[in-house]
Amino acid sequence: MSTITVSSVLARCAVLLQDPTNIRWPQVELLDWLNDGQREIALYKPNAFVKNQSKQLSAGTKQSLPADGVSLVDVVRNMGANGTTPGSAVRAVAREILDSQTPDWHSATQVAAVKHFVFSVLDPKNFYVYPPSNGVGHVEIIYVAAPTDAALGTTITLDDIFVTALVNYILYRAYSKDAEFAANAAAAQAYYQAFQGNLAGKAGAEAASNPNAALMPFNPNLPGGNK
């Protein structure tokens, strides 16, 4: 959860740009670049902005993410008709398995609690459930969401840990504005490299501290899983 304000991030950038009164780089420009930076961070680091919530299933097999969804991460468990009652686990399964073993699975008897979900990276905003849902049950889903734009007087949308990356991204965009000057072009490139380095460093730290590392891959129903 973020606690650092947008104004404080923009103030840091203004100091580094030696433009404390925002004459060369108006605050509204810096704010636009901050929001662009949040989206770029989410592009490179999908887990930078994820949501975990209960979702009512639509009748049938095909399901869609909420309006702010970018890509599904996981379907964890059934959550009952009220969306708050934990139920049985939901496991991922490869579509090829269902297609070959139960070709008519899309028209099977509809149920309240589903057992499996199917996902394709080629269609990241949709997924399928089996058996088909009757439209009453809920499931707990984890999904990548598009960061909402931050505004002056609010906190940043991403976690505080991304502030340094945001500052580097804003400075990259600021110096790109005057890229016809060789020194500014070089500064822009340096700040973008620093931005990328921030994200790469976080990715490495996450991989090193992943508590599931010893268990992966673990699902035999997915390509690459242990048989």
pLDDT, tens only, 30-44: 999 999 999 999 988
pLDDT at res. 209: 46
For residue 172, the Cα-to-chain-centroid distance in whole angstroms is: 23
pLDDT at res. 19: 94
168 and 194 in contact (C-beta within 8 Å)? yes
Q: What is the pLDDT of residues 16-33, one digit of tens each?
A: 999 999 999 999 999 999
pLDDT at res. 201: 67
**For the chain, which residues score pLDDT lower than 50?**
206, 208-210, 223, 227
pLDDT at res. 204: 55
pLDDT at res. 177: 86
pLDDT at res. 208: 46
For residue 188, the Cα-to-chain-centroid distance in whole angstroms is: 26
pLDDT at res. 115: 98
| Cα dihedral 87, 93, 99, 100 sign | negative
